[in-house]
Chain A
Amino acid sequence: MTATSEPEAALGVLPRADGSAKYSHAGYTVTAAVNGPIEAQRKDENPYEAHVDVIVRPAAGVGGTRERHLESILQSSLSHIILIKNFPRSLIQIVLQVEDSPENDYVNTKLVQGNLNFAIMPALFQTAVLALLSAGVPMRATATATAVAVVFHDGVKRTVVDPSPREIEIARSVHVLAFTSHDELLLAESEGDFIVKEWDEVYETAKKICCHSAPADDGMQMALDEEAAAGPDMRHFLRSTMESKVAADLYWK
């Protein structure tokens, strides 16, 4: 069972950007900058809605095909929660800088550079959402994401939340899912071999992590509910992070 460390976030870390966030969880640290709505370039101008541009930069090396793939997935999912129809012909620019990732072991003396692991996607997604909230970009809902791996160990199948690099290496399949604050499935990407039943279990696990938000005074229930302790409570984390930020901003009231 992976030790689920609690996620950490800091908002407004980049003073010159409209919004920014630094997020770390499960060994991944990502900093995001959001600028917008600003003027879009001619080629990206859309007369009905804003263009969302996502740029992913790995820690070491320059980005490659893998980064472009992650960018396009993030762009389509974030475009769904941002109210892009409010800003035609504009650009919402999101830059994600990877600062730290867990797989830094030297595999056969060759550092795996610029080749981002699929499992970094929830961290990228979450940082982007936090930075958008920090910038005050109008959205229709917030969203939370998580990674789940299906691992076969000694013939026993396990669904692992926030898999470590070692677990990803031996996993049969790895999945990344994101849900909006209205419990809608926003993003579902998978790699590997799996059957539909396995995906359903992954879905249920991810939904619990992303959508389950324990009510504040439900103490006894939480202690008995073992499954709720399987991973971090993403929604609660998001809400408490934003509550601190709003309280700080409105200190004068």
Chain B
Amino acid sequence: MASTTRPTLLPGDEIPSSLIPSHPTKPLRLGPGLRHLPPSQILPTVSGQLITLPQKSSMWIEYNSSRYIPTQSDLVIGTILRSGPDFYYVLLSPFTPPATLPHLAFEGATKKTRPQLNPGSLVYARVTLANKHMDPEVECVSATTGKADGLGPLTNGGMVFDVSLGFARRLLMAKSKEEGKIEVLELLGGEEGKLSFETAVGRNGKVWIGSEDIKTVVIVGRALKETDEKKLGVEAQRKLVRKLIKEMK
């Protein structure tokens, strides 16, 4: 039943050389779940489905998990633990060392006008440094443009919900409806639900939902969590949305 072009692999499995993309000019890029043993061995490190993109000369293992490992350029939602002399310490996932967020890494921040964040505040940030030897670092502003682009403290109430990493990734896809097959947000905000809310998705498995109406936040949160936990397809998602809207009335 497993596809031969996209096989399910276990750690240490041999990858058939016919599947490894070979591009005349672009070097091969290995994504998550693969490791390179010089000179020419490529081995999976987790169990999942092998995905290859010959045009872009890249390959990776598609899998789902719940323990976030900081990766550069990821957008994440973190909780401020405490403030140091120059940095905030931000927790990205439970029981891991916190990431550092410089006090001035916010749009238009100077020593006098920087945001004062209390422990327990949520921030939407980007990972700037992540490697196995050092604690991760994040920022709330783009270092090149000086603009926040939506990053920064999430201060207007709302609620944050935990989802699996695969689900967060699907939500962050450019076409989360077509490629990620998640319709609940569109359905709830569109004709069916007519709810008004805003969302922020962190690659670390956190989704922030904000709205003036508490009920709205609860419904959107429940819809997302059930879709994730019960692995609902598009049809089932529509049914779920209808059920939740009905309950609300």
Name which residue of chain B comes closest to A142, CB basis.
B10
Contact with A along B167-211 (1 / 0, CB 8 A): 000100000000011100000000000000000000000000000
Cα A180 to Cα B12 in complex, Å, equals: 9
- Supposing A39-B96, A135-B65 touch, asked if A238 and B46 sit within 8 A by C-beta, the answer is no
Cα A83 to Cα B2 in complex, Å, equals: 26
Among the stretches A150-158, A198-206, A242-250, the one at the interface with B is A242-250
Whether A133 pairs with B47 at a CB distance below 8 angstroms is yes
Interface residues on A, range: 35 or more
Cα A87 to Cα B233 in complex, Å, equals: 35
A4 at interface, CB cutoff 8 A: no
- Supposing A87-B132, A133-B11, A180-B12 touch, asked if A246 and B95 sit within 8 A by C-beta, the answer is no
Cα A133 to Cα B66 in complex, Å, equals: 12
Whether A181 pairs with B69 at a CB distance below 8 angstroms is no
A182 at interface, CB cutoff 8 A: yes
B121 at interface, CB cutoff 8 A: no
Contact with B along A15-27 (1 / 0, CB 8 A): 1001100000000
**Residues of the A chain whose Cβ atoms lie less than 8 Å from the Cβ of B29:** none
**Residues of the B chain whose Cβ atoms lie less than 8 Å from the Cβ of A39:** 95-97
Cα A38 to Cα B1 in complex, Å, equals: 36
Interface residues of A in 117-153 (CB under 8 A from B): 133, 135-142
Q: Which of A83, A181, A246 contacts B48 (CB 8 A)?
A: A246
A231 at interface, CB cutoff 8 A: no
Pairs A–B under 8 Å by Cβ, sample size 20: A18-B65, A18-B66, A19-B65, A37-B67, A37-B69, A83-B45, A133-B10, A136-B63, A136-B64, A136-B65, A137-B46, A140-B11, A181-B10, A242-B47, A243-B1, A246-B47, A249-B166, A250-B63, A251-B231, A253-B49
Pairs A-B, 9 closest by C-beta atoms: A141-B12, A136-B65, A138-B45, A38-B95, A249-B64, A139-B11, A252-B181, A18-B67, A242-B47
A-side residues, CB < 8 A to B, are 15, 18-19, 35-39, 81, 83, 86-88, 133, 135-142, 180-182, 238-239, 242-243, 245-253
